[in-house]
Amino acid sequence: MEFVFSSLTYLLLFVLTAVLLFLIRDELKTKQVDHRAGLVDPPAPKAWPIIGHLYLMARYKVPYRVFDEIMADLGSVFRLDLGSVPCVVVNGLNNIREVLMIKGDHFDSRPSFRRFNQLFKGDKNNSLAFCDWSQLQKTRRELLRAHTFPNTTSNMYTRLDTCLKTELADLTDTLDTMANTECVDIKNMLLHTCANVFMSYFCSTRFSRSYDKFREFIRNFDDVFYEVNQGAPCDFLPSLMPLYHWHFKKIRSWSSKIRNFMETEIFNKRKAAWVPGTKPVDFVDNLLDAVTQPDRDDGFDMDIGLFSLEDIIGGHSAITNFIVKTLGFLVDRPDVQRRIQEESDAVVRASGSVGLSDRSQMPYTEAVVYESLRLIASPIVPHLANRDTSVDGVRIRKGTTVFLNNYSLHMSPELWNNPEHYSPERFINAEGRLEKPEYFIPFSGGKRSCMGYKLVQLLSFCTISTLLNKYTLLPVEDVSYAVPKGNLALPFVTFPFRLRPRNFRKQ
Ligand code: HEM
C-alpha cells in the first residue's frame, strides 16, 4: 500500500512539475525579444498541455471567430499551438500583404496533413493546392492559366461561354420537364451541370445525367470537397491517427475511384489518339503535349498531369456548393431575387439568354456573387513559413503554419456596415457600378492565389442569373435555410428549394 501511495505521489509530483515547466516555457516564449533583429516572438493565449490552443477553436460555430477575441487582447499577429502544430494567425490587410506579396517567397509552402495526403497517393506534392512551392508547381500553374483565366477575346473564352450555355439549357430543360418543382434537390442537379461544364471545357466530353458511373464520380468529388473543408483533430494530434484508419481508407477509395473514371472514360482514349505536335484545343491536349516534351527536368509526368486534371475538374464541386449557398441566402430575400430578375430580364429580352459578355450590364448580380463570397470565405488553406522570417516585426519560425485571417477582414464592423447582414448593395457605388474594396480578398493573392477564381465568378454569375430568370426561389416548408458562414462546403444532401416558374416573356 505504501509502495502504491509513494508511486502515486511521485507520479503526481511528476505531472505537476511537467505542467509547471510547460506553463513557464509558454510564458517565456511569449516574452522573448530578439534585440539583434528587433523581432519579438508572437504572443499567445494560455495553452493547455497536449492540445495547446485547440480548445479555443471549439468556442464558436465559425471557429475563426475566436481570432477576433485573441486579436483584441494580443494584437494582429499571434501564436496558436494547435495540438502539436505551431501556428501563427496574421490579421489586417497590410500584414496579410506582407505575407502574400512582399515576403511571398518566405511563405509559399503548405503544411502537411496526413489526412489530405491520402488523396494524393500519400504525397501532398502531387496536389495543386497542398504542395510546397517548386518548379513543378510553377509549370502546373502556367499550364492551367490560359484555361482558368481565359482572356475575354480568346477562343477559350468563347468555348467556355458555349459550354455554359449548353449545360444551363440542359438544366432548365430538365427542370421544366420535372413533374414536381415543389421540392427540388438543386445541389444534385447543379453538380451535374457544373461537372459537365468542366468536362466539356477541359476535356471536350460530357456525360448524361442518367449515367451511373458519372453520378458516382460526382459524388466522390463532392465527398472529397466536403472532407478538405473540415478540420479534424488528427491533423493536429497525430497520436489520434490510429482512430482514423477506416476513414483514411474511405478517403483513398474516393480518390482511386476518381482516378479510375478519369483514366477509363477520358484520358486513356485521348492518350491513344494523341498525335505529338498537334495544336492543343483543351486542357487534356495541353497535358499530353506537356508530358511528351523531351528534356523535361521539372518532374512533370503523366501521373502528375492526371492529378492536376483531377484537381481542376474537382473545382466544379466548389462552384456548385458556392451557388447552392448563394441560393440559400436568396431564398427568403425576394427583394434581392427581384433585382437579379430585372437585370436578367433585360439581357434575355435583348439576346435570348445570359452569357459571359453580359456581366458588365448586370452589376447587381455580380454584387450578389461578391456578397456571398464575403460571407463564406475563410482562411481554410494555410501557408507555411519555409524559413525563419517575420511579419510586422514579429518573428515567425521556419515550419510555422500561417493562417491569413480573411474571415475577420470580411466581417469587421470597422470595414463593413452591418457585416452580419446580407447586402449586395455594399458592392455597388454611387454611380451604380460594381466596386470591390481592396480588403475584400476571398481568393487570397500572390503566387499561391486561387487558380479558379475567374471560373467561380463566371459560372456562378451565369448560373444564378439563368435560374432566376426562369424561376422564383421559394422555401420548402419546415426546411431551415441557415447557410453556414466562413465555410464553403455543404453536405451532399442539403436544403431543397421550391421553384416557381415565372411568367416572364422574352418579347
Ligand atoms: C467559391 C469558391 C472558391 C473560393 C472561395 C476559393 C478560395 C481559395 C483560397 C483562399 C485559396 C488559397 C490561396 C492562398 O493560399 O493564398 C485557394 C487556392 C486554390 N484554389 Fe480556390 N477557391 C474557390 C474555388 C476554386 C475553384 C473552382 C478552383 C478550380 C477550378 C480552385 C482552385 C484552386 C487552386 C488550384 C488553389 C491552390 C493554388 C496554389 O496553391 O498554388 N478554387 N482558393
pLDDT digits (tens, 9 = 90+) for 139-155: 999 999 999 999 999 99
Structural contact between residues 124 and 116, judged by C-beta atoms closer than 8 angstroms: yes
pLDDT for 296 equals 86
Query: How does residue 181 score in pLDDT terms, banded at 50, 70 and 90?
Result: confident
Centroid of ligand 1 to alpha carbon of 308 (angstroms): 13
When pLDDT is averaged across residues 196-221 and rounded to a whole number, the result is 98
Confidence class for position 1, pLDDT limits 50, 70, 90: very low
Q: Calculate how far, in angstroms, residue 315's C-alpha sits from the geometric centre of ligand 1.
A: 9
Q: Is the confidence at residue 31, as pLDDT, over 70?
A: no
Give me the mean pLDDT over the 419-431 stretch.
Answer: 97
Q: Note the pLDDT of residue 499.
A: 96
pLDDT at 32: 52
CA of 451 to the centre of ligand 1 (A): 5
What's 207-254 look like in SS3? CCCCCHHHHHHHHHHHHHHHHHCCCCHHHHCHHHHHHHHHHHHHHHHH
- The beta-carbon contacts of 447-450 under 8 Å, at least 24 apart in sequence, are 447/104, 447/105, 447/108, 447/133, 448/100, 448/104, 448/108, 448/110, 448/133, 448/381, 448/383, 449/100
Closest ligand 1 atom to residue 382 Cα is 15
| pLDDT at residue 45 greater than cutoff 90 | yes
pLDDT tens by residue, 364-423? 999 999 999 999 999 989 999 999 999 999 999 999 999 999 999 999 999 999 999 999
Nearest ligand 1 atom, CA 198: 30
Indicate if the pLDDT at residue 15 is higher than 80. no
Mutation choice for ligand 1 from 95, 401, 450, CB with most ligand atoms inside 8 A: 450
Write down the pLDDT at residue 440. Answer: 98
Q: Which residue among 109, 229, 443 is best mutated to probe the pocket of ligand 1, counting the most ligand atoms within 8 A of its Cβ?
A: 443
Determine which helix (DSSP H) or strand (DSSP E) holds 347, and give its type and residue range. Answer: helix 334-351
| pLDDT-based confidence at residue 179 (cuts at 50, 70, 90) | confident
Ligand 1 centroid – CA 108 distance (Å)? 14
Nearest alpha carbon, ligand 1 atom 17: 450
Q: What is the residue with the minimal CA distance to atom 10 of ligand 1?
A: 443
Residues 6 or more apart whose CB falls under 8 angstroms from that of 441 comprise 93, 96, 377, 406, 409
* Res 33 pLDDT > 70: no
What separation in Å is there between the alpha carbon of 447 and the centre of ligand 1? 12
Q: Which of 9-18, 128-137, 473-482 has the lowest mean pLDDT?
A: 9-18
When pLDDT is cut at 50, 70 and 90, the band that residue 56 belongs to is very high
| Ramachandran bin of 486, using left for φ above 0, alpha for ψ from -120 to 50, beta for the remaining angles | left
pLDDT score at 297: 87
> Above 90 in pLDDT, residue 506?
no
CA distances from 223 to 82, 373, 443 (A): 25, 21, 22
* Mean local confidence (pLDDT), 482-503: 94
Binding positions for heme: 450
Q: Give nearest CA residue, ligand 1 atom 31.
A: 452
Tell the residue nearest (CA) to atom 1 of ligand 1: 322
pLDDT at residue number 30: 46
Q: Is the pLDDT of residue 20 over 70?
A: no
**Looking at 20-34, 59-73, 328-342, 393-407, which range is the least confident one?**
20-34
Query: Looking at this protein, which amino acid is placed at residue 24?
Result: I
Q: How confident is the model at residue 10 (pLDDT cuts 50, 70, 90)?
A: low
Task: Tell me how far apart the alpha carbons of residues 34 and 269 are, in angstroms, rounded to a whole number.
Answer: 60
Q: Say whether pLDDT at 228 is over 60.
A: yes
Give the list of residues 6+ apart from residue 408 with CB closer than 8 angstroms, or none: 64, 67, 68, 71, 91
pLDDT interval class at 34 (50, 70, 90): low
Average pLDDT, the chain: 92
pLDDT at 453: 97
| Residues facing residue 395 across a β-bridge | 390
- Point out the annotated binding site: 450
Select the more confidently predicted residue: 117 or 34: 117
Ligand 1 pocket by C-beta < 6 Å: which residues? Answer: 128-129, 141, 148, 311-312, 315, 318-319, 322, 373, 377, 381, 383, 442-444, 448-452, 455-456, 488
Predicted TM-score (pTM) of the model is: 0.93
Chain centroid to CA 43: how far? Answer: 29
CA of 96 to the centre of ligand 1 (A): 17
Distance 312 CA to ligand 1 centre (A): 10
pLDDT at 43 > cutoff 60: yes
Give the position, in ligand 1's atom list, of the atom nearest the Cα of 404. Answer: 16
- pLDDT at res. 5: 43
In this prediction, residue 2 has a pLDDT band, given cuts at 50, 70 and 90, of very low
Residue 4: the pLDDT is: 41
At 3 the pLDDT is 40
